Amino acid sequence: MSATLDALELETRPSPQWSVIWLHGLGADGHDFAPIVPELVRPHWPALRFVFPHAPVRAITINNGVRMRGWYDIASFDFADRADRQGVLESVAQVEALITREQARGIAPERIVLAGFSQGGAVTLAAGLRRQVPLAGLVGLSTYLPDAAHAAEHLVAGAQRQPIFMAHGQSDPVIPIVHAQQSAQALQALGFDVQWHAYPMAHQVCAEEIDALAAWLDQRFAAAA
């Protein structure tokens, strides 16, 4: 496993003051969410560096072992055991390496946002539970918390200081919304401040969701000003 993943990077202005690390979904790559940047970013925001890493290529069991980019294997359709736990932990370690690199480039953890869609969101939430030094916030889109029944066992003291934005499609056929709702409730029960949104869509992102996320990020930037 390489120390740091290859990634696409976009900077909104020179000398970024904040970083947003954004993890893509299964079978995609770091280019998948790059087009969201001009739709999301507001003119008054500080200079941002968006980091869109490419997940490793691995065999995915439920896809007949076909190899594709993924943050972990999916061995079962049962959400209790859906995510390969070792794969999740490996991806969390790779995310931590990306965070460390941003720190080396002068971005403090409290100015780093970790975001992800679907599989990428699952890794985002799993990493958030284990963060010893809180980040500015966590974003989970169309996703769920892996191994949610044992979330308390993975929780690191102080991690709850990270606010969470979660949004989901009401007719999502890939990750039914009930699993996302249960994940949000589990995180709230652990003490996290979770802002929850649901939209009339499938496994995707919509304009209203981007606007809500922009408002949430605006609060993060204003709090640190």
**Which residues are tagged catalytic?**
118, 172, 203
Alpha-carbon distance of 101 to 125, in angstroms, equals 20
What is the end-to-end Cα distance of the chain in Å, rounded? Answer: 37
User: Do 210 and 41 meet the contact criterion of CB atoms below 8 Å apart?
Assistant: no
- Identity of residue 139: V
CA distance 97 to 148: 24
3-state secondary structure 26-69: CCCCCCCCCCHHHHHCCCCCCCEEEEEECCCEEEEHHHCCEEEE
Gap between the Cα atoms of 70 and 26, Å rounded: 5
